[in-house]
Amino acid sequence: MKILKLLKRVNLFLYNAQKSLVTVLFLALLGISALQLVLRLFFKSGIVNAETLTRYLVMWVAFLGGSLATYKWRHINLDVVSRSFKKLNKNLFNFIICVCACVILGVFCKASVDFIMMEMGESSKLFFIPVWVLESIIPIMFFCMFLVYLQGTLDSAAKLFGRKKTVAVNDKNGNGEGGLTK
């Protein structure tokens, strides 16, 4: 399936980009917080709007971290549900979970896009950046998570409906997982 292979490549690229971005943003968050602390303690002043900026940086790091966890299947798992459906075929169970996640993430993505569109009408800015740009991480990460679950849906469907071989995409370390790993 060429679509599945393309989706795995896109997801691998997004994963690597998100990994780099979360590292840079976390370091910026630490740097700004430390600088603000030093300025307040020793110079009795601080950076204007630094607390607001750190709140947005925390939001970005949280959404990026959630997306990275989803990519590696290290997100919150409801073991109660998994145990309840042990008799169900594993591929069928994964297919149902991925389809439900795609639907939920699609709804979240649409709602967050509507929220951003509403925010675009506001003229609020942090430094010189419109606030809606800072909040745009919300629909972007919901869409990235949607792509991960879409890949899971297609992969589970391929396994479920008789396709024995799955397409693997090598990452930069030569691992054949490339995408969703379990």
Range of the domain at 141: 2-160
48 found inside a domain: yes
pTM of the model: 0.81
179 found inside a domain: no
Domain count within the chain: 1
pLDDT tens, per residue, the chain with 182 residues: 688 899 999 999 999 999 999 999 999 999 999 999 999 999 888 888 889 999 999 999 999 999 999 988 776 665 556 666 666 777 788 888 899 999 999 999 999 999 999 999 887 888 888 999 999 999 999 999 999 999 999 998 988 887 555 545 555 555 544 455 44
pLDDT of residue 181: 45
Q: Are residues 15 and 71 in contact, defined by beta-carbon separation less than 8 angstroms?
A: yes
175 found inside a domain: no
B/e letters for 39-56, b = 16+ CB within 10 Å, e = fewer, are eeeeeeeeeeebeebbeb
Q: Are residues 136 and 116 in contact, defined by beta-carbon separation less than 8 angstroms?
A: yes
Write the secondary structure of 102-166 as one string of H (helix), E (strand) and C (coil): HHHHHHHHHHHHHHHHHHHCCCCEECCEEHHHHHCHHHHHHHHHHHHHHHHHHHHHHHHCCCCCC
Q: Are residues 152 and 112 in contact, defined by beta-carbon separation less than 8 angstroms?
A: no
Residue 29 C-alpha from the chain's centroid: 19
171 found inside a domain: no
